[in-house]
Chains A and B, each alone.
Chain A
Amino acid sequence: MKWALVAFLAIATAVLVAFAWLQSGGMKQHTMFSAVTPEQAVQALMSQIQAHNYQQAYASLDRSSDTDLASFTRELAGSDGSLRTYSSLQTTEVSPLHADRDQALVRVRMNWSSAMGSLDDVRDFDVRRDGSVWRLVWPKPTLSTVPQQVVSVNYLNWDVIGRNPSQNWGAQEVDAPKVRITSMNAIARSGHVVILGEVENEDTVPAYLNVNATLLKTDGSPIEEEGSFDLISHVLLPKQVSPYRIDFPGVRMDTVKSVRMDARALLVPASADPVIAVSDQALSKDGLDRNVLKGELVNQSGRPVNIAQVLATYYDNSGKVIWVSDGYVDQALMPQVPVPFAVDIPDDIAGRLKSYRVIVNHYSRTSN
């Protein structure tokens, strides 16, 4: 009887351990780590990346990979306060493009969850057979380096001296910057209303800007009020023009009689530095056959930009704004180093757009 109890407890423990292993995805991981197919090899690598096991992930790469552990880790974990440093790999979709006996081409769609929302990264990888397993060939990172130098930056800075609260009524004050909504277009998209257009800082001082829109019914009563949130460049230097887009999810166009626009500007300290060039912009298709606007950002100043947001405005034949889209760049913009970007263009917009304009929002840890 005593031995029967011991045997029962031992068997029950073994069953529970096995159950826990299966529950925690052990079988799946075992299959993936065995890497007996190219897809499994990629899946295994992505699991390691997801778990931040960069050393193990690097060890599983094919020897012909043209990277070292430090570069590999920097590329995946991010550096210099970039958006990637605030991101984690959420999901991956692996689809084989081509395979023969010893070599395969695999497309991986990596979905990163970041502080600014989810980011897609679609890449094609070579996978090679190494004995009984497959290993991924990690491409050489495209990290350019710039020679050490001194960059003289003497762009204007604006400081603001606020009103002293002890001053009397009627004491001299500095007015808020004058901004103007230069265009506004209301469209129906996916069953809801979208307000988009452009706004200009007409003043000679920088402005911190918010654009709000209120949809009104036939009787003039408000339906809903929304702001442009991050689909605008909030800080506008003198004569700078920014697009804005305001989404009204859940409001149908046929319920709207009119729109009340409100651009509110505040006087803020700002710097004209850094200047970011947007070069080689072109319309193309990405790996998933989606319409994108691609290009490169070049930080022309001497200090890094940690997070950059690209805002693209699309115009039709008549010059009317028909769409505004944005995209965050997950690499930091190091001085003088081109960094690629791509923003989505909806299919119906891609067919109608005649021209486009790109501006860059930037966030730096050391900025004012």
Chain B
Amino acid sequence: MKCPARSNFAFRKGLAGLALLCVLPWCALPWAKAAELHVPAIVEAGQAFSILVEGSGQATFYLLGPDHVVKRSVSLGRDLQIQSSDVRTAGRYQLILCDLASSCTSATSEVRAAQPAHLSFFLHPSRVPVSTRDSIDATAFVFDQYFNLVLTPSAVDFRITPASGAGFSRRVSTQKGVAWMRMDSTAHEGRVQVTVVSGNVEEARVIQQIAAEACGLRMKAVANGNMVALETDPVRDCSGNALPDGTVVSFTKIDKAGKSTVDTPIKKGIARVQFSVHGRAQISVACGVVLGNEVTLNGKL
């Protein structure tokens, strides 16, 4: 049987290469008889290996990988060296040998990812309110040095280092190359570093624990002529964390002149505002959807 791969079509690039991929396996059908190929069933990515090719004379060797094709003229009866650069991508490889009589033989080999060398680490969200259940997701993808996903189970450590308090660690085994964990945010605001470690490789991410909703919002009024200066106590959440500067606090005053509102940001932990008062006035304070105390002034300021 005449092997079309030996005939005159160019297969170096583009469609020709694609055509080769489609046609070559036909050469290796059972009725084709050629030199035997003895290939390892499993090879580590990036590891060079040799194949013993029986027979004598010249032949053409094809290596069909997931992302590339190699064609080489070889001498039968010698070891055929497969370069490490030819098997960097994990997946199923087909090795085909066609002799001068145009008979082909083939074998398959599976290239598996090498040792973990890279980690892609996703830590979500980047900001999380304190004391929130199951609010932090950490997901690590384990890759070898050629960025093949390491599908064999391996141990991954998640090391959590909060800004204050003791750190802790969790060991998780990867499943199909992925390891993940979910945890609660702690009660204290600040930076939390999560480091994922697999073998000698580690990758760190930082998450910011932020104050939750304001809690026990209170203001006090200081009169000065017909003006009243209002000032909140340090605005904190229910765990005692200070709400960050820039958080908007709304003051509302209702008196004879009507209603007045000021949305003012917290500065150094405290929100301040000044109103002129006409007669009896009622003043309230709120932060987001949280209401604070009310102050009533009798207008005799």
Q: B141 at the A/B interface (Cβ < 8 Å)?
A: yes
Interface size of A as a range? 35 or more
Q: Nearest chain B CB to A365's CB is how many angstroms away?
A: 22
Which of A53-61, A103-111, A124-132, A150-158 lies on the face that meets chain B? A150-158
- Which residues, 53 to 77 on B, are CB-close (under 8 Å) to A? none
B287 interface residue (CB < 8 Å to A): yes
**Contact between chains at B206 and A156 (CB < 8 Å):** no
A272 to B248, CA, bound (A): 9
- Of the 9-residue stretches B96-104, B122-130, B165-173, which lies at the interface with chain A? B122-130
* Partner among B141, B258, B264, B275 whose Cβ is within 8 Å of the Cβ of A275: B264
Q: Which residue of A lies closest to B206 (CB)?
A: A172
A175:B125 contact, CB within 8 angstroms: yes
- Shortest C-beta distance, B154 to chain A (Å), equals 17
8 Å CB contacts to B: which residues of A342-368?
A: 356-359
Residues of B within 8 A of A168 (CB): 120
Is B1 close to A, CB under 8 A?
no
* Interface membership of B180, Cβ < 8 A: no
Q: How far, in Å, is B144 (CB) from chain A's closest CB?
A: 15
Candidates A202, A206, A272, A358; contact of B261 at CB < 8 Å: A358
- Smallest CB-CB separation from B208: which chain A residue? A204
Of all chain A residues, the one with the shortest Cβ separation from B246 is A156
Chain A nearest CB, measured from B265 CB (Å) = 4
Bound: A133/B127 CA distance, A: 72
Verify A155–B265 contact, CB threshold 8 A.
yes
B257 interfacial by beta-carbon distance below 8 Å: yes
Digit string of B266-300 for contact with A (CB within 8 Å is 1, else 0)? 01000001011000000000011100000000000
Least CB distance, B181 to chain A, in whole angstroms: 16
Q: Are A282 and B259 in contact (CB under 8 A)?
A: yes
> Which positions 119-169 of chain B face chain A at CB distance < 8 Å?
120-127, 141
A8 contacts the other chain (CB 8 A): no
Q: Which residues of B line the A interface, CB within 8 A?
A: 120-127, 141, 205-206, 210-211, 214, 243-250, 257-265, 267, 273, 275-276, 287-289
Give 5 A-B contacts (CB < 8 Å), ordered by A residue.
A169-B120, A170-B121, A237-B263, A281-B260, A282-B258
The 9 closest A-B pairs by CB, nearest first: A170-B120, A239-B288, A282-B258, A156-B246, A272-B265, A279-B260, A281-B259, A240-B248, A238-B247
